[in-house]
Structure 1
Amino acid sequence: MKRYLLFTGVLLMFSCGNNNSKKHTNDWQVLFNGKDLEGWTPKIHHHEVGENYANTFRVKDGVIQVNYDNYDSFNERYGHLFYDKPFSSYHLKFKYRFTNQWMEDAPSYTYRNSGIMFHSQDPKTILKEQDWPISVEYQMLADADDGNPRPTGNMCSPGTDVTYNNEIDPRHCINSTSKTYPWDEWVNGELIVYKDSLIIHIVNKDTVLQYSKPTIGGGVANRFNPSVKIDGKALTEGFIGLQAEGQGIEFKDILIKELE
């Protein structure tokens, strides 16, 4: 009898474990439906929020494209496509790969360079002539065919500061420990955010960067509304935005799970 009860208990534990796993899986929310840009809002420098200039952001073959085939010149049209809901603590997953499009009048650093902004200000508060949103960035780079390493999953900080190695880091960008990937290869990115405490960058299942305490501060962002940029204010939540800065890129399989 004791052996039977023990065996039954193990079966119950296994069953509960499976149920919890299923519930865990169902917590993932799809942010991109694979068909259109429903739930997403563009904001492009020199243009009002909601204006998708020259169809910069579009959906084709189940991916979100940053596409410049309708542009005559880039003209500093730094763009971002924001999901309409802010998030605080979460685990974000996505896939990206670069295309062979690059606007040659864009700054040279934008070559095979893009990113996902998070803890960003509301796009409705971004002024027409504001170039970058006040936010933190998960930066993506790819091989530039020049023989130099270009890690991906880096951190950049337009209008913000972060704490790295127990001190506020003055650098605008902090490189991760990832390897360099070919520009046309799909890469799996992940971002784990715990409000204004720990932030973790993951590339192809490897943790490549950790930092903490994102706050409003620093430079890079220009022509913002001063009432929005309150230096020293902790960033505990914000919007997620896909970046367009002169380099073509594709995004797909964008999922999020909110964390306690």
Structure 2
Amino acid sequence: MSNLFDTVFSKSHFSVALLVLSVLLMGCQTSEEETNQSSDSEWITLFNGKDLDNWTPKFTGYDLGTNYNNTFRVEDGLLTVSYEEWDQFDGEFGHLFYNERAFSNYKIRAEYRFIGEQAPNGPGWAIRNNGLMLHSQDPNSMSKDQDFPTSIEVQLLGGNGEDPRSTANLCTPGTNVVMDGELFTPHCVNSNSKTYHGDQWVTVEVEVRGSDIVKHYVNGETVMDYTDPQYDKNDGRSKGLVDGDNLLIDNGYISIQAESHPTQFRKIEVLPLDE
């Protein structure tokens, strides 16, 4: 009788334990779902799909605010870099800055595609080429004839239909980074992403942690990371931006490019992260 009682009692306690564990697991799952939903709701939409409010253009050779040849425009709800009104390209590199605020710790997510043909006389390297300029200098501090803002560029590239060509690469106008523990000074380096040919939409996401670490993702896959974004004191574009001996860049503005090839963005959004 005692053994039977002990068995029943043990089974009863086991059932109660299972019930308690199930409730706890359900609570954790609910909490995780709520956290994810909360995170999604905290994304800030930089492009509203209607107009270029809160965005300011800057083209080489022109004053801040001049939208040269109506290059940056909204067409069918898409932020479009258009060269329809250009006769030819002659070094008028353009950037469209989100002007509301600078960012430090955040994720940025953009959906882009390349369309049409490059503007006549556009440089060969700029075919199907755009970029997200992060940790950028204030556009008000750019000189009239400056080509690129001092920034960390997440270079966006499209394939030519045949050859491999990565995207979400790194370029460093006026800057350097640390890769594999060493200062990296070449201007550009390729990621390990796949090649995306044609006019397909591609999602690029970048996690920026101030002056600590930057990670690039393409369609959900990690393709590159590096640390210590910093000014290149040997580059003239950084003149006046360096604060004493501290070269690290821990915040800045965001812009997209106009480098001679038509491009469209259907989403650009930022998720601020904890400091």
How far off is 1:5 after superposition? 5.0
How many pairs does the alignment contain? 257
Q: Does 1:111 align with 2:127?
A: yes
How far off is 1:225 after superposition? 7.5
Unmatched tracts of structure 2, length 5 or more:
1-12
How far off is 1:17 after superposition? 2.9
Matches for 1:1-260 after TM superposition, within 5 Å: 2=16, 5-84=20-99, 85-145=101-161, 147-217=162-232, 224=237, 226-228=239-241, 233-260=247-274
Q: Classify 1:165/1:14 alpha carbon distance in 2 versus 1 (closer, same or farther; 3 Å).
A: closer
Q: Which shifted more, 101-110 or 133-142?
A: 101-110
Cα distance between partner residues in 1 of 2:246 and 2:21: 57
Unmatched tracts of structure 1, length 5 or more:
none
Cα distance between partner residues in 2 of 1:158 and 1:105: 22
SS of the residue aligned with 1:124?
helix
Q: Classify 1:191/1:6 alpha carbon distance in 2 versus 1 (closer, same or farther; 3 Å).
A: closer
Cα distance between partner residues in 2 of 1:192 and 1:127: 29
How far off is 1:79 after superposition? 0.5
How far off is 1:10 after superposition? 4.1
* CA deviation vs aligned residue, 1:157-202 (integer Å, no higher than 9, x gap): 0000011111111210010001211131111101111101111011
Q: Indicate conservation of the 8 Å contact 2:109/2:268, yes or no.
A: yes
Q: TM-score, normalised by structure 1?
A: 0.92
Q: Which shifted more, 8-17 or 114-123?
A: 8-17
Q: Indicate conservation of the 8 Å contact 2:233/2:242, yes or no.
A: no
Partner of 2:6: none
Q: Classify 1:11/1:140 alpha carbon distance in 2 versus 1 (closer, same or farther; 3 Å).
A: closer
* CA deviation vs aligned residue, 1:214-258 (integer Å, no higher than 9, x gap): 101066x76x48323568511100011001111110112211111
Q: Indicate conservation of the 8 Å contact 1:112/1:183, yes or no.
A: no
Q: Indicate conservation of the 8 Å contact 1:98/1:183, yes or no.
A: yes
* CA deviation vs aligned residue, 1:108-132 (integer Å, no higher than 9, x gap): 1111111110000001111111111
Cα distance between partner residues in 1 of 2:89 and 2:233: 26
Q: Classify 1:14/1:165 alpha carbon distance in 2 versus 1 (closer, same or farther; 3 Å).
A: closer
Cα distance between partner residues in 2 of 1:5 and 1:225: 60
Q: Which shifted more, 20-29 or 130-139?
A: 20-29
Q: Classify 1:207/1:7 alpha carbon distance in 2 versus 1 (closer, same or farther; 3 Å).
A: closer
Q: Which shifted more, 19-28 or 185-194?
A: 19-28
Cα distance between partner residues in 1 of 2:24 and 2:196: 48
Percent identity of equivalent pairs: 37
* CA deviation vs aligned residue, 1:16-43 (integer Å, no higher than 9, x gap): 3332222122121111111011111111
Aligned amino acid, residue 89 of structure 1 = N
SS of the residue aligned with 2:103?
coil
**Higher-Rg member (1/2):** 2
Q: Classify 1:97/1:88 alpha carbon distance in 2 versus 1 (closer, same or farther; 3 Å).
A: same
Q: Indicate conservation of the 8 Å contact 2:232/2:238, yes or no.
A: no
How far off is 1:149 after superposition? 1.9
